[in-house]
Structure 1
Amino acid sequence: MSRTVDGSAHMSPQVLAAYRYCEAVTGQQARNFAYGIRLLPTDKRYAMSALYAFSRRVDDIGDGALAADAKRDRLAQTRAVLDRIRADAVPEDHTDPVAVALAHSARRFPIPLGGLDELIDGVLMDVSGREYETWEDLRVYCRCVAGAIGRLSLGVFGTLSGAQDVERAPEYADTLGLALQLTNILRDVREDSRNGRTYLPAEDLAKFGCPPAFHAPSAPLDADFTGLVQFEVRRARALFAEGYRLLPMLDRRSGACVAAMAGIYRRLLERIARDPSAVLRGRVSLPVREKAYVAVRGLAGLDARGVARRNARGVGR
């Protein structure tokens, strides 16, 4: 297939407009994600933007103000759109740009679209108000809403021919997604609690004397909130260390993309570790210059193996 000057395959104006729409959604709604995918060649960047825009739609339904039954109906409609994409039944002049872009990407890359069904299943858990007794229970949820995104992304990235243990690439992509999601859960403890949601496992909360939900900018006096956060940080670090084994299996730019996205969250995790109570005072984030540094560092010569080794040891936080 011939290629345009910017590296994208020749495509109709409708498809190009659909991708541009998805890129705009990604740039506005997913700053951390956008830093990573900027490092990809155009065709992969477009596909990742389409995946994000569809995923964002699913998440927005779950987080919206609709009643639970209305959310379930909207999610069922979204799954029906996914079924049409899977059946290659979305014309290029369809009025839904996200469906057009994702359908085009699914024809170009071996994207395991079942991962988006898993995402919908995970959001349905949110709609039902499900809580999690153990880490294994929470892990199921995290695999749906984040591990599946890792596996979907791997369909776009591909793997290097002859890479060692390459058959485990989907497992590592899934695990890296879990690491990012657990970091998100720690960062959003206060916000989620205010919205009536508790994601941290009940047995972990009880172990450190923490109630299922609290809204004050400080933990209850008799709770070891710092101990709870450090416990979950150690779990997330182990997930990062395992997930980073994916990096040597990717080409340079795909590896740089993953290293940038995961590196931003890894630095966020370490910021939380240094000041656990910060998550009760507000949303913990990284300054723009630090995010940019992580992205540039990933593309500017740190090979995938080096990034994997350094992050597994916690170096370069």
Structure 2
Amino acid sequence: MPPELVAAGITDPALQRAYRACRDLNAAHGRTYFLATRLLTPDRRPAIHALYGFARYADDIVDTLGAVDPAAGLDELGLALVAAFEGGPSEVPVITAVADTVSRYGIDRRLFAPFLTSMRQDTHVTSYATMAELDEYMFGSAAVIGLQVLPVLGTVSPEAAEPAAALGRAFQLTNFLRDVGEDLDRGRVYLPQDELGAFGVDRDLLVWCRTRRRVDPRVRRALAHLVARTRAIYRRAAPGIPMLAPESRDCVRTAFTLYGGILDEIVAADYDVLYRRVRVGTGRRAAVALPGLARAVAVRRLRRS
């Protein structure tokens, strides 16, 4: 039995298979997130994998399962999730694992409805006129995930919810800036039209830059502005890290630093992100994660002594 599952007290073979499937999704698709999760105590990791796995599975319904009507697939997912919350069986491993996680940690089930609402938007909404509209989408697609993980991470302050939600938004805006070219290929522009328009940028110009592998100066200025806005959200989220349980802080601090590093790479690339994907290099990832791992181990030893 995997040590993480032993530490979490997950002994049922079907549950073990479900949690391992979620861990595999996290390892395959969430490189930064998975690395940060390694800094958690082993008993907490399966629950974080389950929450990530469910979110990833829903995202895949929208983006990659072309043989299925995405809206219908999300409706089926929502019904199956509610049934699992009520104790019903599921043939979908991520549903089995996330329902068990919700039960173990007392996570508010109502947080999953706005997430699925935002995922449904991705089946028919291709742009956002204002940052306020995008914020509404990100509440469901990102902020609620920050709230879902709080009971797993543990907190020492009742005020941790607002920074956790802000961090979810910051992570997602970072992804939107990094993936703007890939999202264009899916027919979507997540960056708000009014923010882009203030710099003379629209969808046509973004497509022009991607197809010609060039970046117009107006696009550079718009992206610089949005990077600055995203950094401001990280600053609002930062006070939440000390509000977490001590043994969870290094995990979130590492994710905070590495995702912020994506913004650094966007700037270092002179905002040439329309036709290539920037990444935080392995050296920097290790430089951030290894000290965090050392601190996390020290905290665990201290709490056991």
Task: Output the CA distance in 2 between the equivalents of 1:250 and 1:112.
Answer: 18
Paired amino acid for 1:289: G
Which amino acid in the other structure matches residue 189 of structure 2?
T
Q: Tell me how far apart the structure 2 counterparts of residues 32 and 10 of structure 1 sit (CA, whole Å).
A: 25
Cα–Cα, structure 1 residues 42 and 194, in superposed 2: closer, same or farther, change >3 Å? same
Using a 3 Å threshold, how does the CA distance of structure 1 residues 290 and 83 change in structure 2: closer, same or farther?
A: same
Greater shift in the superposed pair: 236-245 or 17-26: 17-26
C-alpha distance in structure 2 between counterparts of 1:83 and 1:48, whole Å = 20
User: Does the CA contact (< 8 Å) of 1:229 and 1:276 recur in 2?
Assistant: no
- TM-score normalised over the length of structure 1: 0.85
> 2:224 aligns to what?
230
Looking at secondary structure, tell me which structure has more helix per residue: 2
Q: Secondary structure at the match of 1:267?
A: helix
**Corresponding residue number in structure 2 for 1:62:** 62
Question: Equivalent residue for 2:128?
Answer: 132
User: Which residue of structure 1 aligns with residue 88 of structure 2?
Assistant: 89
The residue number in structure 1 matching 2:45 is: 45
Residue 257 of structure 2 is matched in structure 1 by 263
Tell me how far apart the structure 2 counterparts of residues 8 and 175 of structure 1 sit (CA, whole Å): 28
Output one character per residue of 1:269-297: Cα deviation in whole Å (capped at 9) or x when no partner.
11212333321230011122322322223
The one-letter amino acid of 1:7's match is: A
Give the ranges of 4+ consecutive aligned residues of structure 1 lying more than 3 Å apart after TM superposition. Answer: 3-6
Q: Give the aligned partner of residue 302 of structure 2.
A: none
Asked if structure 2 preserves the Cα contact closer than 8 Å seen for 1:230 and 1:276, the reply is no
2:269 aligned to which of 270, 275, 295: 275
CA gap of 1:88–1:244, structure 2 versus 1, over 3 A, is farther
SS in 2 for 1:168: coil
Count of equivalent residues = 289
Q: Which SS does the other structure have where 1:47 is aligned? A: helix
Work out whether 1:296 is the aligned partner of 2:290. yes
Residue 169 of structure 1 corresponds to 160
Q: Distance in 2 between matches of 1:6 and 1:72?
A: 37
For 1:38 and 1:207, locate their aligned partners in 2 and report how far apart those are by CA, in whole Å: 41
Match of 1:241 in 2: 235
- List per-residue Cα deviations over 1:88-119 (Å, max 9, x = no partner): 333xxx53322222222122102223222222
| Equivalent residue, structure 2, for 1:307 | none
The alpha-carbon deviation at position 65 of structure 1 amounts to 5.2
Seen in structure 2, the aligned counterparts of structure 1 residues 54 and 4 have a Cα distance that, compared at 3 Å, is closer
In angstroms, what is the RMSD of aligned CA positions? 2.1
Deviation at 1:186, TM superposition (A): 0.6
Query: Which residue number in structure 1 is paired with residue 76 of structure 2?
Result: 77
Does the alignment pair 1:191 with 2:190? no
CA distance in structure 1 between the aligned counterparts of 2:169 and 2:191, rounded to whole angstroms? 13
Aligned equivalents of 1:87, 1:157: Cα separation in 2: 24
- Whether the aligned pair in 2 keeps the contact of 1:55 and 1:116 (CA below 8 Å) is no
3-state SS of paired residue (1:127): coil
Q: Do 1:62 and 1:71's aligned partners in 2 also have CA atoms closer than 8 Å?
A: yes
C-alpha distance in structure 1 between counterparts of 2:240 and 2:142, whole Å: 16
For structure 1, which runs of at least 5 residues remain unmatched after alignment? 161-165, 303-317
Check the 8 A contact 2:250/2:295 in 1, yes or no. no
Structure 2 equivalent of residue 100 of structure 1: 96
Q: Does 1:207 align with 2:201?
A: no
Structure 1 CA distance for aligned equivalents of residues 113 and 49 of structure 2: 18
**Any unmatched runs of 5+ in structure 2?**
297-305
Q: C-alpha distance in 2, partners of 1:46/1:211?
A: 42
Question: 2:173 maps to which residue?
Answer: 182
Deviations 1:155-204 (A, max 9, x none): 211212xxxxx332111111001111111111011111122111111111
Q: Is the 8 A contact 2:215 2:272 kept in 1?
A: no
Q: How much has 1:32 moved relative to structure 2?
A: 1.2
Instruction: Report how far residue 150 of structure 1 moved.
Output: 0.7
Instruction: Report the AA paired with residue 110 of structure 2.
Output: G
Contact 2:4 2:45 in 1 (8 A): no
2:111 corresponds, among 105, 109, 115, to: 115
1:187–1:284 contact (8 Å) kept in structure 2 = yes
